[in-house]
Amino acid sequence: DDLDKLEDRPPVLTIMGHVDHGKTTLLDYIRKTKVAASEAGGITQGIGAYKVLVPIDAKLQPCVFLDTPGHEAFGAMRARGARVTDIAIIVVAADDGIRPQTNEAIAHAKAAGVPIVIAINKIDKDGANPEQVMQELASIGLMPEEWGGEVPVVQISALKGEKVDDLLETVMLVAELEELKANPHRGAKGTIIEAGLHKAKGPMATFIVQNGTLKRGDMVVCGEAYGKVRALFDEKGDRVDEAGPSIPVQVMGLNIVPIAGDEFEVVGSLVVAREKAEARAES
Ligand code: GTP
Ligand code: NA
Ligand code: MG
């Protein structure tokens, strides 16, 4: 529709790969946090969504990172992460190489038709063999750029922060080529990336807005759930009034817990929201 109102939006970047290859550690370095150390069993069990200002050419560029689990049990989350992303960052540990969930993540990124950037991680470790990983990549049709192919590959140590700047620069270059736009001046639409029941807040869902702007007070329908947005929270748990294109936000006010992966949209009234939700429940 309203093409003239399209504006630049931040890139959504999903980090995927085999279990323990260093995805959360990479995001911790980028965000200056310590999430990985606090995870039960050292395993990521949900999708984390974070707004980050990345310094590029002395300017701060907003972008959104999604952290996905690498454990084999969480394939649905990897698929969901790939579906809402603009670029897939596939992390491969240099001492372990391409493993089953690496292949799975690559397949999800290909199915979603999104560009892939490879981060060969843990290059600081004894037994790291980045050349071997490059060969494995080439053998599955992901020819590294430095070998004449089309896949950007950056060798990093997420733990030490080595070459993470190079990785971010590479990713932002790929994002620029995508010319990512949306219209922030309309009712929001997007995808539910996480949902659950909170003891005090009731049904809660993390939305990622893909077009428009979601505002407190909006009426939303998401799958068979609906409601009036009573409060919005960012990833730190701080209340916010609205969330524009690409921005992840936690939503309070739904009647039931929606299904992660379903889409949401803002509608004109609570009556319409309920009718749409009920029609979906019956079909
Ligand atoms: P899941 O989300 O559970 O799939 O794991 P993950 O990919 O997020 O890996 P995580 O960040 O939890 O890291 C797993 C282990 O690898 C931790 O002990 C990290 O400290 C370690 N690690 C991550 N990156 C590096 C690195 O660059 N070098 C070294 N030496 N260790 C690393
Ligand atoms: Na882990
Ligand atoms: Mg993790």
What is the tens place of the pLDDT at every residue in 21-34? 999 999 999 999 99
Instruction: State the distance from the centre of ligand 3 to the C-alpha of 195, rounded, in angstroms.
Output: 19
Q: What is the pTM of this model?
A: 0.97
**Which two tokens mark 206?**
């993390």
Q: Is residue 24 lining ligand 1, measured as CB closer than 6 Å? A: yes
Which atom from ligand 1 is nearest to the alpha carbon of 27? 11
CB 183 within 8 A of CB 2: yes
Which regions of the chain does DSSP assign to beta strands (E)?
Answer: 7-8, 12-17, 48-56, 59-67, 87-93, 116-121, 153-155, 181-182, 189-198, 202-211, 214-215, 219-222, 225-233, 239-240, 242-243, 248-254, 263-267
- State CA 18 to chain mean position distance: 16
Which residue, chain included where needed, has tokens 């010319």?
A: 179
CB 277 within 8 A of CB 226: yes
Binning the chain into helix, strand and coil, the percentages to the nearest 5 are 30, 35, 35
Residue 276 scores a pLDDT above 70: yes
Count how many residues are written for the chain: 283
Q: Is residue 99 lining ligand 1, measured as CB closer than 6 Å? A: no
Q: Over the stretch 55-91, which tens digit does the pLDDT of each residue have?
A: 888 899 999 999 999 999 999 999 999 999 999 999 9
Q: Which ligand is nearest to the CA of 101?
A: 1
